[in-house]
Amino acid sequence: QVQLVESGGDLVKPGGSLRLSCAASGFTFSDPYMSWIRQAPGKGLEWVSYISGGGSAIYYADSVRGRFTISRDNAKNTLYLQMNSLRAEDTAVYYCARGHYDLRLWGQGTLVTVSS
């Protein structure tokens, strides 16, 4: 079954850190770019980051550059997002998705809440 399953979302205090994971199955994970997209409560979609299949090409949105780090472990079929120096405005559902053009496969999302 082709699917993406995110995990790791939690309630964290401002300034704290969190690592999100996205487990892939049903396709050759090492081939495609992978992306993280987030959606603040009641708001629209924001592309956060993407990474190439081999990990050599990486993009970050200005809003997270220097605080978030995307990575992947192709042997474990898993995508990661390390989030440091978290702010209230990072509160969102975080989705992983396959690709970096149009996104045809999404996970169900994991909620990150940044609050004291």
Q: Which residues bind other proteins (CB under 8 A)?
A: 44-47, 50, 59, 61-62, 95, 100-104, 106-109
Least distance (Å) between residue 43 CB and other proteins: 9
Q: Give the pair of three-digit tokens for residue 110.
A: 């994991």
C-beta closer to other proteins: residue 13 or 104: 104
Q: How far is the CB of 39 from other proteins (least distance, A)?
A: 9
> What are phi and psi for residue 91, nearest 5 degrees?
-60, 125
Q: Rounded CA gap, 25 and 33, in Å?
A: 15
Cβ proximity to other proteins, 15 vs 31, nearer residue:
31
Positive or negative torsion for Cα 28, 32, 45, 105: negative
Q: Shortest Cβ distance from residue 106 to other proteins (Å)?
A: 4
CB 104 within 8 A of CB 53: no
Q: Return the number of the residue (27 or 106) whose C-beta is nearest other proteins.
A: 106
Residue 88 is given by DSSP the state G
